Structure 1
Amino acid sequence: MSGAVTVDTARPMEHNGIVVELVGDMALFYDRDSRSQFVHEAYALADPGELAAGVALFPFDFGVPHCPLESYAGANVRVRYVIRVTIVRSLMQSVVHEQELWVHVYNKPPAINNSIKMEVGIEESLHIEFEYSSSKYHLRDVIVGKVFFLLVRVPIKFMELALTRSESTGLPQAQAYTDTQTLAKFEIMDGAPVHGESVPVRFFLGGFPLTPTYHEGIKIFSVRYYLNLVLVDATDRRYYKQQEIVLWRRDPRRITRTRTRRTRVRLRPGSPPSSPPPPSESASSGRA
């Protein structure tokens, strides 16, 4: 992370030093005392002295800083990174300017990614089994699965699949707040299924504003994603099953593209291309 600070002054200005900082913090919107800082790096751009009138350029380079969390702006919490420049002055108020950055944190593919198999039903009335090929997906992945109807004695009207995000905020000693948002909802079946029928599911995640899952090592908030499978019968009663999935951000630089191999034929100058061999006698002979 590198850049440059431009200082433009109309007249000479004395200062006690110029400092640039990289700051990462998180805060709850409803609690001002909850702000906590998890990243802070700083170094001096200029020693105390005097800035001449005109434009001065001060380059900086933080290298590869440790940013454990992504930038996030939710319903009740915000995670942000800023570059803060301070021109320190003793007799007058210091000059402070901030520039917010949006940070993405790339993850490695999960070492273990098991499939999901679950059952839901009502005794002697409804028995459904559904499975998904994976439990962890990158943000532009495709959810592939199937729904199996093993017992159907309830007049099903339609079935839908919804993707929801649940954001929980609050310190351990305080009251927690949970905000649930439905990001997408699709009808995957219309009409009554029959015994033994299976319905394929294919859900593309690339078109929705998703973030990675946050729930490990963070005390102030968590963000989780769920798949909700909902069935509605003829009397508008709802039968649903909820399953949590884990989302992670894939590094686009590590995506390998399969290249098609091409065969190149080089001809010598002046030599005609070779003609195909004449067909054999057995191949050219027709029926008598």
Structure 2
Amino acid sequence: MSFFGFGSGADIDIILDGADSRKQAEIKTEEGRKEKHSLYYDGESVSGKVNVTMKKPGTKLEHQGVKIEFIGQIELYYDRGNHHEFSSIVKELARPGELMQNATYSFEFVQVEKPYESYTGANVKLRYFLRVTLVKRISDLVKERDIIVHTLSTYPEMNNSIKMEVGIEESLHIEFEYNKSKYHLKDVIVGKIYFLLVRIKIKHMELAIIKRETTGSGPNTFNDNETIAKYEIMDGAPVRGESIPIRLFLSGYDLTPTMRDINKKFSVKYYLNLVLVDEEERRYFKQQEIVLWRKGEKVRRQIQQPASVPSTISNVASPEETSPTANDVEK
């Protein structure tokens, strides 16, 4: 291809400002692997440089212009031919001309809106990326670089506990209570289960966190349930009046915030699933939806005392970083 003049002729690299010091975050690929990319939040500017490196110094590369795009995109796996862009900003880096040597172009997308959280699921992917295109007559040169976006939410003001009853007439009657209905991703679920009537032989009881991903609409609606966590909270037959404590730490699991009707394309909801299994392997369960949200991290800063006071340095926790977005949980 290069012999006939159709080769790429140059390499393109996208360098983000502060990439070495910026926090990295992980996200799953469609194949289930984990990738790390630079982490951004809604309203943050995205800036950097684009380097175009000539493969053969001294050669000439004609182009019809160089542009960079900031793109937010949703891809439904059952409709891969259509990419739904909810955010698209284009900036021109160079007008049509010729490249005789390596070139560097600066770019900045100021306070760019990023309303949704990056997500890779069973049937859908939401990604943000930068795309540089060097336009040529026959075959464009294209380079993409992904970033990860997290949406932060404020602490829910109303956070009622969950209290429910479940039972089988004249055979089983239990009450269960969870301390809250909304939890941040590093939170702890605390609860209790009360046995008011037990006339069946229960072998064990388990609690699971279920993630339900819903994509599409109408006849093209797809639901995928994934068990994120499951652990046994009781082994053996309970007696009437017994109380079983629940304490489940969320920080050890791969969770995302609850997502409701994202760009009218998909939703992600979480449920606590309480399951009782009797000695005949019959299963009795009760499911309750919970809301998950991402809490801003505390940022520590150093404050220097005035010169008139003996010099000391103290670490003071600043207010929690919160940036409510369109994906904010219910308050």
Residue 145 of structure 1: how far off its partner (Å): 0.6
Amino acid aligned to 1:228: N
The structure 2 residue matched to 1:127, chosen from 160, 167, 173, is 173
Give deviations 1:2-40, integer Å, cap 9, x for gaps.
111110013232323211100111111122354211010
Amino acid aligned to 1:77: V
Say if 2:206 and 2:276, in contact at 8 Å, map to a contact too: yes
Q: Is structure 2 residue 151 aligned with structure 1 residue 117?
A: no
Moved over 6 A (4+): none
Q: Is structure 2 residue 85 aligned with structure 1 residue 40?
A: no
**Aligned pairs (5 A) from 1:7-86:** 7-9=52-54, 10=56, 11-53=59-101, 55-86=102-133
Change (3 A) 1:173 1:122: closer
Q: Is structure 2 residue 286 aligned with structure 1 residue 241?
A: yes
| Aligned length in residues | 254
Change (3 A) 1:213 1:62: same
Distance in 1 (CA, whole Å) between partners of 2:226 and 2:261 is 21
Taking only aligned residues, the RMSD between alpha carbons, in angstroms, comes to 1.9
**Aligned pairs (5 A) from 1:150-189:** 150-170=196-216, 172-189=217-234
Residue 217 of structure 1: how far off its partner (Å): 4.9
Give deviations 1:57-102, integer Å, cap 9, x for gaps.
212111221111111111111111110001123x342221111222
Q: What percentage of aligned pairs have identical amino acids? A: 54
Residue 41 of structure 1: how far off its partner (Å): 1.0
Change (3 A) 1:173 1:182: closer
Amino acid aligned to 1:37: E
**Aligned pairs (5 A) from 1:86-105:** 86-89=133-136, 91-105=137-151
**Aligned pairs (5 A) from 1:166-245:** 166-170=212-216, 172-245=217-290
Which runs of 5 or more structure 2 residues have no equivalent in the other structure? 1-45, 302-309, 311-331
Which of 1 and 2 has greater Rg? 1
Give deviations 1:78-133, integer Å, cap 9, x for gaps.
111110001123x3422211112222222222232111000000112211000111
SS at match of 1:183: strand
TM-score (norm 2): 0.73
Say if 2:86 and 2:263, in contact at 8 Å, map to a contact too: no
Change (3 A) 1:114 1:34: farther
Distance in 1 (CA, whole Å) between partners of 2:177 and 2:106 is 54
Say if 2:196 and 2:241, in contact at 8 Å, map to a contact too: yes
Distance in 2 (CA, whole Å) between partners of 1:17 and 1:238 is 64
Q: Is structure 2 residue 55 aligned with structure 1 residue 6?
A: no
Distance in 1 (CA, whole Å) between partners of 2:298 and 2:97 is 44
Give deviations 1:185-224, integer Å, cap 9, x for gaps.
1100111111111111000111111111112454221111
Distance in 2 (CA, whole Å) between partners of 1:168 and 1:143 is 25
Distance in 1 (CA, whole Å) between partners of 2:176 and 2:247 is 13
Distance in 1 (CA, whole Å) between partners of 2:178 and 2:96 is 62
Amino acid aligned to 1:65: V
Distance in 1 (CA, whole Å) between partners of 2:273 and 2:144 is 41
Residue 252 of structure 1: how far off its partner (Å): 1.3
Distance in 1 (CA, whole Å) between partners of 2:106 and 2:129 is 16
Residue 173 of structure 1: how far off its partner (Å): 4.1
SS at match of 1:30: helix
Which runs of 5 or more structure 1 residues have no equivalent in the other structure? 258-265, 267-288
TM-score (norm 1): 0.83
Give deviations 1:132-170, integer Å, cap 9, x for gaps.
111111111110111111111222111110111111112
